[in-house]
Amino acid sequence: MRRMNLALCIFLLSCSEAATKDNPCPQGICIAGNGNDGGPGGGGSSGSSGSSGSSGTSGDGGPQVCNPAWTCTAWQKDAQGKSTRTCTDTNKCGTASGKPSEGPLDLPGLDFDYYKCNVEPIFDRGCAMVGCHGTEVGRPFKVYARGRLRHQETVPPAPTCLDTGPQELAKKGTATVMCLGWSKHTAAEWQQNFDNARSFMVGLTNPDDSELLSQPVYQGKAHTGVHLFRKSDADYQTIAKWLSGEKLGRTCDPSPN
Amino acid sequence: MKTILVTLGLLLAITTTSRLARAWDGPTMWYESATGGPGGADGPGGGGIIGTGGASDHNITCANCHIKGDANYGTVDFKPTFNPPIGATYKLGQTYQVTFAMVGEHLGLGQCMPYMKNINGFAAAFEDDSGKPVGSFRASYGSTTSCPPTIPKDSTDATYTYNDCHAVIGHDTNASWTFSWTAPAVSTPVTLYYAGVDGDCMMDSLMDDAKVGTMKLGGGVAMRDAPASGNRALAWLGLLPAIGFFAASRRAQQRR
């Protein structure tokens, strides 16, 4: 019995080792994101329609075309209360083509509660895959979601896991539903998702013109062949109503999100 | 005694944790809400997007989540076998036993760490040119004709179809998946969309291998050239009166 206890203690002690890049989860329960920071679709896909928007050049046999892959920081308010951000082309094409707005500007005053309860679930379901808009690199539209991309911030350990002390949410929680990947959205994730989404209405009056709708709608833009809804579908209507300024009229409890 | 209690306590913690240690692609999770709600239900899940690459999945594939593959990315394959062989096109109304075998699995084959599993994945859908599911499935659990809303948790069936039954989903610890598909009775061009994942032991969607494929099954032909055995028996039964009449005529001739 004593030997068994000793063996168990050795096993459990090994669980408290610090995570490393090669062994991101020494205790064998919590999963870490890996250190590979390849772009979206970076692994490629055999026989797949693929989803990469960050390949630097394209064209077979013809002139090489460099496709910018814009990566933007989170929106920040400056001293004048205007929102600004910085966008850089991951592919370094040397062009401003398609560069998202960096401000300073006033983000549209859309309803946060309506977004949390009605719009975010649509994005979580159909957009937030880590090879699509669940990526920090190369996509102006970015969605943090449980089980997909998690924000780079330090958070308390998940109560159901053996980690102790502050944890890196992005490293431990991205692309998994285990432990921190299962944990609720943080305030920063909600705010950045909301700000990022509403920035697609900057300078527009008609929601149909927003890329949030014109890209994923059937018979809309190419969007790598991925089309999620038709104009008559409830999801399209929900996003359109939010972009038009509709309010939820109550405080949203997005639990368990 | 104190050591034993502490040890037991920690083991309990591990057991509790392992309850949550389910892979994203567990067969019950595909139709769970992507937000995990409402009311704190299990999740987040796939929200009904299975990732076959077909129109029913909005052309989203497994490779949209399984990214940053390992050095041998793209070497796994998923090979279909039809019984009876499907040939150049399918036969109208024919039921085929379809087996997909993972070829070239190279991840998760060693000893996984405690509470981790070698999680693979497979899904398939048959669609017409408009993107609508065609024909009908019979999986190890569920069938199109009596499509179950959910599947039992921790089920060990090899294949599943449930909820809207637009696709067949493979159990995540298998490397081969068999189900039956009955072709449509009316001729229409059919495409088989399939997608599979060779997972490692890490139970996330990074550093796996993935394969997405399509197979054009043509527009279908009538079954008269190769009737199913059941139909053949029925045909012989239909001939019985004629055979009886022929035999009676022969006997009458012989008596004369």
Backbone CA torsion sign across B18, B20, B25, B31: positive
Measure B224 CA to nearest chain A CA, in Å: 35
Is A35 part of the contact surface with chain B (CB cutoff 8 Å)?
no
Contact criterion met (CB < 8 Å) for B7 and A176: no
Give the CA-trace dihedral at B130, B132, B138, B139, to 10 degrees.
100
For A144, name the nearest residue in chain B, comparing CA atoms only: B35
CA distances for B51 relative to A125, A129, B109, B123, B194, angstroms = 12, 11, 24, 7, 9
d(CA B235, CA B223): 13
Give per-residue pLDDT as tens, B36-95.
765 545 678 899 999 999 999 999 999 999 987 778 888 999 999 999 999 999 999 999
Is A149 part of the contact surface with chain B (CB cutoff 8 Å)?
no
Inter-residue contact B9 to B17 (CB < 8 Å):
no
Backbone CA torsion sign across A152, B38, A121, A252: negative
Is A147 part of the contact surface with chain B (CB cutoff 8 Å)?
yes
For A238, the enclosing helix (H) or strand (E) is helix A234-243
- Residues 92-131 of chain B with CB under 8 A from chain A are 113-116
pLDDT > 90: percent of chain A: 63
Give the CA-trace dihedral at B150, B39, A170, A194, to 10 degrees.
120
Which residue is it, tokens 């600004």? A84
Set out the domains of chain B in order of their start, with CATH numbers: 27-231 (2.60.40)
- Residues 102-121 of chain A with CB under 8 A from chain B are 120-121
For B125, the enclosing helix (H) or strand (E) is strand B121-128
> Closest partner residue to B34 among A41, A125, A227, by Cβ?
A125
d(CA B36, CA B33): 5
From the DSSP assignment, how many helices (H) and strands (E) are in chain A?
7, 8
pLDDT of the residue at A52: 36
Write down how long chain A is: 257
- Neighbouring residues of A190: CB distance < 8 A, sequence distance ≥ 6: A112, A116, A120, A254
Question: Which regions of chain B are under pLDDT 50?
Answer: 6-23, 40, 226-235, 238
* Stretch among A131-145, A152-166, A237-251, B122-136 having the lowest mean pLDDT: A152-166
Task: Tell which residue, B207, B224, B204, B15, has the closest CA to residue B117.
Answer: B204
DSSP state of A169: H
Is A129 part of the contact surface with chain B (CB cutoff 8 Å)?
yes
Measure A195 CA to nearest chain B CA, in Å: 19
Measure A243 CA to nearest chain B CA, in Å: 21
B-chain residues within 8 Å CB-CB of A145? 34, 44
Is A223 part of the contact surface with chain B (CB cutoff 8 Å)?
no
**DSSP calls for B191-202:** EEEEEEEE--TT
pTM for the full predicted model: 0.79
B-chain residues within 8 Å CB-CB of A35? none
